[in-house]
Amino acid sequence: MAVLRLDEIARIAGGAILQGSPALSFGSYGIDSRLASPGGLFFAVPGHRDGHDFVADAAKNGAAGAIVSHPVAVADPAFGLVQVRDTVAALQALAHEVLVRRPVRVIGITGSVGKTTTKEFTAALLAPRFRVLKSEGNYNNYLGLALTLLRLEPGDSAAVLEMGMSAPGEIRALARIAPPDVAVITNVSPVHLQFFSGLEEIARAKREILDGAKPGAAAVLNGDDPLVMDIAAGFPGRKLTFGRKPTCDVRAEALVSKSYAGFEFVLHYGRESGRVAFPCVNEAAVENLLAAAAVALSFGLSFDEIRPAIRGLKPFAMRGSIVEAGRGIRVYDDSYNSNPRALDAALKGLAALPAGRKVAVLADMLELGEGEQEFHRRAGETVAKTGWDVLVAVGPLAALIAAGAAGAGLSPAAIHRFDDAKAAAKAIAGIVREGDLVLVKGSRGMKTEAVVEALKARGKE
């Protein structure tokens, strides 16, 4: 963690010390009073619950100071308080200052699908040569990115930062905090369409990462995605492409499925190439790996440096991990989120895996705007056409998945409908059988992890 004094914080944030010694120093930072650590600094950010109401709680939990936008009462006179005009702006200003003081190269990753997995893979491939800081979880917004930067240590030499958005201008704001040395765009897909007029507008919002990159920065681009290549046409820096096309700088050829062990394929890596083992069962993750490898290529790592790291990659919890649920039942836990592109890839990519039956537990895909009904119907059609044996539809929009599957030929007896994930979790034990492969996927708000937990608990019985 960066260590900053109270007087430094006040100066950088443009605030005034209300109480506490100017020499008081902090080595940890947060916005959740429940997670306040001894000697930490608490930022009272606004929201559905105002952080100012929890400054006293942060102090009780060990925090040594707080950033506020209006005075608050704290019993301990040694507790540091800095008043600023805007606590979020203060957090971001401190994060930017910490980054300026550290000679680290920033990798900014955005895209509609696969940002978090690409971020994790990138950090793993760079690790053999660089000490890497990465965004925790999906810390990809104006608060999470800033908090990540405040974790920079003196020995860090690279920062892999996920940059998410749900509206125009958000990536531009993130790039102002942390201008990328390498800007990555994974793809442009129908996500958050509720807030955009179409894919072209989403693409323009993604281009903000290129506009906000440092002078001389490199761009890592999905060479298979025409919208990505279109928005990058005027980028003046070095461009590295990844994908399946023979023109891509980093590409995969001759994929061979190794069942639940993952894939083997030929990786073309700049001027080098060779066969690699990749331990992820969903072919869609290959695209994320290629993006990460292109970043490694931009950093000058050799093929021999990244090959062992690729072999050691593992799927992540709730994002494609395989969970053993007893009696030969395997759960593909992709419960963290869902969108049309990712769901289509999962249904098609997992369909060839050996299993007694294939059971798709699919919940609503949210924020899709006017096309939401058609996206859900098409998903149901894909369930039927790719050979899934059982569909468990969770949520009101998932009723359209069920209708699409039935219309495409899936037997009504193989379709189960539930209003929410809690109800599905209660019933799932009576639906699955020995040897089944179970895909669990839904938007974050649907909380489909409850189904995974129920299956895990069943496996312990």
Of 420, 418, 394, 391, nearest to 406 by C-alpha is 391
Task: Give the separation between CA 241 and CA 295, rounded to whole angstroms.
Answer: 10
Question: 441 vs 12, 304, 338, CA distance in Å?
Answer: 43, 35, 6
Task: Give the separation between CA 399 and CA 417, rounded to whole angstroms.
Answer: 7
> Which residues of 158-285 form beta strands (DSSP E)?
158-162, 182-185, 218-222, 238-243, 250-257, 263-269, 272-278
Task: Give the separation between CA 95 and CA 111, rounded to whole angstroms.
Answer: 23
Amino acid 257: pLDDT: 96
Amino acid 461: pLDDT: 66
Task: Give the separation between CA 159 and CA 59, rounded to whole angstroms.
Answer: 30
Question: Quick one: CA torsion of 449, 453, 454, 455, rounded to 10 degrees?
Answer: 100
Domains of the chain: 4-85 (3.40.1390.10), 102-311 (3.40.1190.10), 321-460 (3.90.190.20)
Say which residues have a Cβ less than 8 Å from residue 16's Cβ, sequence separation at least 6.
10, 82, 83
Max CA pair span of the chain: 72
Contact 278, 310 (CB under 8 A): yes
Residue 333, CB-side half-sphere exposure with 13 Å CA sphere? 21
218 burial level (CB within 10 Å; 0-12, 13-18, 19+): buried
Amino acid 139: pLDDT: 75
Of 33, 88, 42, nearest to 65 by C-alpha is 42
3-class SS at 240?
strand
Tens digit of each residue's pLDDT, the chain (461 residues): 789 999 999 999 999 999 999 999 999 999 999 999 999 999 999 988 899 999 999 999 999 999 999 999 998 999 999 999 999 999 999 999 999 998 899 999 999 999 999 999 999 999 999 999 998 866 789 999 999 999 999 999 999 999 999 889 999 999 999 999 999 999 999 988 888 889 999 999 999 999 999 999 999 999 999 999 999 999 999 999 999 999 999 999 999 999 999 999 999 999 999 999 999 999 999 999 999 999 999 999 999 999 999 999 988 889 999 999 999 999 999 999 999 999 999 999 999 999 999 999 999 999 999 999 999 999 999 999 999 999 999 999 999 999 999 999 999 999 999 999 999 999 999 999 999 999 999 999 999 999 999 999 987 76
Amino acid 103: pLDDT: 85
The pTM assigned to this predicted structure is 0.94
Q: Tokens standing for 99?
A: 């980054």
Say which residues have a Cβ less than 8 Å from residue 29's Cβ, sequence separation at least 6.
1, 40, 41, 43, 91, 94, 147, 150
β 272-278/263-269 pair status: antiparallel
